[in-house]
């Protein structure tokens, strides 16, 4: 897989080493400038992946949270979604602490479908497609046809699942919480509802549901 912007034929490829200064999505760049004025201490820039590029599990969220990753500059760090996710990751031994601020990652890497904070947490399709060039690069690091041990992408919610499809450049089975599909030899795609407060406060996603999926992901990686 090479790092080109899928379905955006007029656009140049997005070099991963220039992610920090990427302004390819004008709407998001304008919004980040507004938020920066309001919160001058916040990161307010594209949020890079966190974790070793040699990790065997890549977790893909939706977008930086306004007062979470957009503040701290690290995916899933600084808000309730991250803490909910990390409580589960701690139980299966993938992190060393339930608080992302203090945690060390063990064989897991974290990223988002879009790396800039979108208004109302809703990226547009064109933004998802554009930013999937970076996700494609991250997937290239996770998996190649030469790998002989399982790798896994865990998509948190429908939008992340869609972005993985864009990055892989193929149609995937529809998003279904708890589903696991081998989308290429030794490459698994698992799906979990996004750990947003909207989902966790309403019981759409419970700790037991989270733990069940994470246990199955670890079993896949160990298989
Ligand atoms: S969302 Fe992604 S592609 Fe768009 S400006 Fe941010 S880093 Fe660049």
User: What is the rounded distance in angstroms from the CA atom of residue 145 to the CA atom of residue 186?
Assistant: 8
Contacts of 152 by beta carbon, 8 Å cutoff, 6+ apart: 56, 57, 58, 187, 188, 189, 190, 217, 220, 221
Q: pLDDT grade, residue 17 (50/70/90)? A: confident
H-state helical runs in 8-96? 26-38, 69-72, 80-91
Angle (nearest 5°) at CA 135 between 63 and 8: 95
Q: How many residues does the chain have?
A: 223
Atom of ligand 1 nearest to the CA of 114: 1
Mean pLDDT score of the chain: 93
Atom of ligand 1 nearest to the CA of 123: 1
Average pLDDT score over residue span 23-28 = 96
**Ligand 1 pocket check: which of 114, 125, 128, 138 to mutate, most ligand atoms within 8 Å of Cβ?**
114
pLDDT, tens digit (0-9, with 9 covering 90-100), for 119-164: 999 999 999 999 999 999 999 999 999 999 999 999 999 999 999 9
pLDDT at 9 over 70: no
Atom of ligand 1 nearest to the CA of 23: 5
- More confident: 92 or 20: 92
Is the CB–ligand 1 distance for residue 116 below 6 Å?
yes
Q: Check residue 15 and give its pLDDT.
A: 75
Average pLDDT score over residue span 189-195 = 98
Collapsing DSSP to helix, strand or coil, 78 comes out as coil
**Ligand 1 pocket check: which of 116, 121, 126 to mutate, most ligand atoms within 8 Å of Cβ?**
116
Backbone angles phi, psi at 132, to 5 degrees: -65, -15
Residue nearest to atom 3 of ligand 1 (CA): 131
pLDDT, tens digit (0-9, with 9 covering 90-100), for 66-82: 999 999 999 999 999 99
87 burial (CB, 10 Å; 0-12 / 13-18 / 19+) is middle
Q: Check residue 13 and give its pLDDT.
A: 58
**Residue 184, strand partner residues:** 187
**Ligand 1 pocket check: which of 118, 130, 132 to mutate, most ligand atoms within 8 Å of Cβ?**
130
pLDDT, tens digit (0-9, with 9 covering 90-100), for 40-75: 999 999 999 999 999 999 999 999 999 999 999 999
Residue nearest to atom 4 of ligand 1 (CA): 25
User: What is the rounded distance in angstroms from the CA atom of residue 129 to the CA atom of residue 14?
Assistant: 12
pLDDT at 11 over 60: no
């Amino acid at each position: 897989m090479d790092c080109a912007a899928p379905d955006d034929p007029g656009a140049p490829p997005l070099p991963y080493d220039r992610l920090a200064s990427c302004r390819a999505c004008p709407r998001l760049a304008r919004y980040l400038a507004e938020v920066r004025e309001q919160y001058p201490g916040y990161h307010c820039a594209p949020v890079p992946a966190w974790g070793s590029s040699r990790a065997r599990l890549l977790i893909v969220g939706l977008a930086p949270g306004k007062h979470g990753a957009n503040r701290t500059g690290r995916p899933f760090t600084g808000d309730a979604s991250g803490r909910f996710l990390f409580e589960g990751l701690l139980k299966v031994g993938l992190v060393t602490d339930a608080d992302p601020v203090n945690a060390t990652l063990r064989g897991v890497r974290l990223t988002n479908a879009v790396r800039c904070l979108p208004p109302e947490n809703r990226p547009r399709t064109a933004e998802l497609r554009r930013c999937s060039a970076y996700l494609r690069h991250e997937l290239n690091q996770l998996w190649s046809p030469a790998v002989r041990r399982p790798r896994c992408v865990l998509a948190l919610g429908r939008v992340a699942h869609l972005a993985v499809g864009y990055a892989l450049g193929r149609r995937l089975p529809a998003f279904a919480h708890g589903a696991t599909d081998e989308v290429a030899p030794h490459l698994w795609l698992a799906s979990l509802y996004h750990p947003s407060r909207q989902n966790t406060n309403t019981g759409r996603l419970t700790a037991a549901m989270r733990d069940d999926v994470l246990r199955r992901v670890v079993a896949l990686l160990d298989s």
